[in-house]
Structure formats: C-alpha cells, structure tokens
Amino acid sequence: MAKKQFTFYGKETEALKQMKLEEFAQLLPSRHRRSIKRGLTAEQQSLLKILQHKKSEKPLRTHVRDMVIVPEMLDRRIAVYNGKEWNILTIIPEMLGHYLGEFSLTRKNVKHSGPGIGATRGSKFESVK
C-alpha cells in the first residue's frame, strides 16, 4: 500500500514550494493571513533571508516565535528559544501555517510528588530533622 501524499488545502508540497508568499497566505486562516499581509517584521524578514541562502547541518537559532511556518522552511532545522533553552524543530509539512512558538512551549507541566510534612494528619507529630 502506497504512503498517502501530504496535501495542504489541496496543494502538494512541491506546488507549495513554488508559490510566492502572498499566494501561500491566501490558503491560511485569517489571523495568519493578515499577519503576512500587513508585512513581516524586520526579524521575520531576516529569518526568511537566512533560510533562503544558508543551508547548514546546524540548526538556525532564532527568537522569532511569531513567525508563520511557510513552505520555504520545509525540511530545515530551526532552534526556537522558549525563554530558557533552545528547542530544535525539524520543519515537516504538517507544521505549515502554524507559528514557530507553538512547537516550543514556554511552560512545563507541573509534576507533584508526595505530600510534605504537615500536609496530612499522620505527619502532624513527625519531627523535622
């Protein structure tokens, strides 16, 4: 059985890579489309320029979490800063149209251990060492 070909709103990845940014923006939801239509910030433009010209094995580090993932970024490795560490992303077709920050979470899940001293009736009279 053949592997199913990925499509983004009916377009295959090769067709998406040939599109201009404005054409790709027409396929996106309104919030993402408007952010591209209003113009990319200087940081976003420099990130796109570096991605177009530079092909390296090391991931490209960036703080630009509000950049919409466009077809030019496909199959590239990008390290996105979450405020504490760099999360390395390999951009796959399923990520198209999302923001980079969606894949580099800034908060960890809270993991609780057992109750502390004084938290239960049984630990009321335990001595603290």
Task: Note down pLDDT in tens along the chain; length 129 residues.
Answer: 677 888 888 888 899 999 999 999 999 999 999 999 999 899 999 999 999 888 878 999 999 999 999 999 999 999 999 999 999 999 999 999 999 999 999 998 888 887 777 777 766 666 656
The answer to whether residue 23 is domain-embedded is yes
Does residue 47 lie in a domain region? Answer: yes
The answer to whether position 36 is within a domain reads yes
Number of separate domains in the chain: 1
Q: Which domain holds residue 23?
A: 7-106
Distance CA 16, CA 46 (A): 21
**Residue 89 belongs to domain with CATH number:** 3.30.860.10
On whether residue 111 sits in a domain, the answer given is: no
> Per the domain annotation, does 127 fall within a domain?
no
Q: Is residue 55 part of a domain?
A: yes
